[in-house]
Amino acid sequence: MSILNAIQDRMDRLHPKERKLAAYLLERPLEAVGLTITELAARAGSSSSTVSRFCRSLHFQNFPEFKMKLAAELAQRAAPNQYQDIVAGNPLPDIVAAVTANHVRSLTDTTRLLDIGQLRSAIDALHAAARIDLYGTGTSGLVAQDFGQKLIRIGRPASVFGDPHLQLTSASSLTTGDVAVGISYSGETPETIHALRCAAEQGATTIAITKFGASTLASHASIRLFTSSSEAGMRRGDMASRMAQLHVVDILFTGLVSEHFDCYVPLLERSFQTVRRYTGRKEEGHQAT
């Protein structure tokens, strides 16, 4: 579950009172969602201000929103499609079922975490941007490339950078009115963090796509889009996390085209017809020989 995983991940970095509160939430999450902020503070040996600050550090506006999201996650606890790890020697049908279940659960968890207001802000910024930089390395770099080719198809001035030096070089030339998107599952990839921070210092709008919870990348973003954090520590080769990131990218792209249909659909159609025209002729030439 994403919220409890995020709390567990940051236990070692919390102050003593916050650590006591986190321990209580991890041990008794069902009880916590039924308490008022005053009752929770008393039972966790904390204070109402500490509870509020703790909720904001997890990117919730207040304690009621935190409780609502936590209750929704707890309601999914009995779902049959729990995350499954790689097991040696599993029959192939079981592997098919496990990978499918992991992807479905990751998409479901990510959808529940998405903030419509943040999504709309991201779509507005991407539409208005004079330039769009996309930063990511490894698996996240593949997601950045996917997003980049989508944006190029609708005429958006997007560039994808995986090389750390090129990321910084491009970020240093961004200005107000430009957008930089940093993609990192952990939120702690140094190269992506440095590039997004540099872009923010130049006045660009910064968007982070990262796992739910507090992270360095999210702290440098003006717009934060979170994915499920339940894959942490598992031996799956970033499969479910990649699907979650692509899910967010697809939502952004579809929302962008839908919001500005008359502007982007003709460009999308033109790019499709152009590719078909030239690749079609090439194939005909091969067949003739």
**Backbone CA torsion sign across 278, 283, 286, 287:** negative
Q: What is the DSSP string of 111-122?
A: HHH--HHHHHHH
For 218-263, the pLDDT digits (tens) are 999 999 999 986 654 444 557 778 899 999 999 999 999 999 999 9
CA distance 106 to 97: 14
H or E element at residue 135? strand 132-135
* Per-residue pLDDT tens digits for 177-224: 999 999 999 999 999 999 999 999 999 999 999 998 889 999 999 999
The pLDDT of residue 283 is above 80: no
Task: Give the rounded distance of the alpha carbon of 241 from its chain centre.
Answer: 9
Average pLDDT over residues 48-68: 89
The pLDDT of residue 82 is 59
What does pLDDT average to over the chain?
Answer: 87
